[in-house]
C-alpha cells in the first residue's frame, strides 16, 4: 500500500509563531486532505488539496504532486490550533473513499 509520512511528529510553538508541517507520500494520489483532530476526537477538514495551493485564513497548504509531498503552513499560531494534524491520501489506483492516513503531527501552542 501507499506510505504516508508526516514530520515532525511533535511540535511545540509559542503563540504567534509560524510553522510548517510536511507530508510525504509514496505513490500517485487523486485525493489529499489535511485534517485537524480536536481533543474530543473530531476530525475537522482543513483542505482538500491533491495539487496546487490553497489558503484559508491563517492556514495555507501546498501540494506538489509530481514530487509527492504536501505542506501545511500555520501562521500566527493560537492556542486553539493545538491538536493533532493528519495528512490523508487516496491512491489513484485505490479510489472509492479509501483514505490512507499518516501518523499525524501533535501540535502544542503555548500562551
Partner 1 sequence: KAGVTQTPRYLIKTRGQQVTLSCSPISGHRSVSWYQQTPGQGLQFLFEYFSETQRNKGNFPGRFSGRQFSNSRSEMNVSTLELGDSALYLCASSLRGSDTQYFGPGTRLTVL
Interface residues toward partner 1, by CB under 8 A: 30-31, 33, 35, 40-45, 48, 86, 88, 90, 94-101, 103-104
**Is the CB of 56 or the CB of 96 nearer to partner 1?**
96
For 41-62, the DSSP string reads: -PEEEEEE-SSEEEEETTEEEE
Q: How far is the CB of 6 from partner 1 (least distance, A)?
A: 10
Q: How far is the CB of 1 from partner 1 (least distance, A)?
A: 9
Q: How far is the CB of 99 from partner 1 (least distance, A)?
A: 6
Residue 110, judged by CB atoms within 10 A of its CB (0-12, 13-18, 19+), counts as exposed
Residue 40 three-state SS: coil
Longest dimension (CA), the chain: 44
Amino acid at each position: 500500500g501507499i506510505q504516508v509520512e508526516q514530520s515532525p511528529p511533535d511540535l511545540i510553538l509559542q503563540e504567534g509563531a509560524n510553522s510548517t508541517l510536511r507530508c510525504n507520500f509514496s505513490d500517485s494520489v487523486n485525493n489529499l486532505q489535511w485534517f485537524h483532530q480536536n481533543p474530543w476526537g473530531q476530525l475537522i477538514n482543513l483542505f482538500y488539496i491533491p495539487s496546487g495551493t490553497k489558503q484559508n485564513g491563517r492556514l495555507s497548504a501546498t501540494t506538489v504532486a509530481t514530487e509527492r509531498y504536501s505542506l501545511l503552513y500555520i501562521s500566527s499560531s493560537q492556542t486553539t490550533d493545538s491538536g493533532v494534524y493528519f495528512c490523508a491520501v487516496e491512491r489513484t489506483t485505490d479510489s472509492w473513499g479509501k483514505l490512507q492516513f499518516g501518523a499525524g503531527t501533535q501540535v502544542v501552542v503555548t500562551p
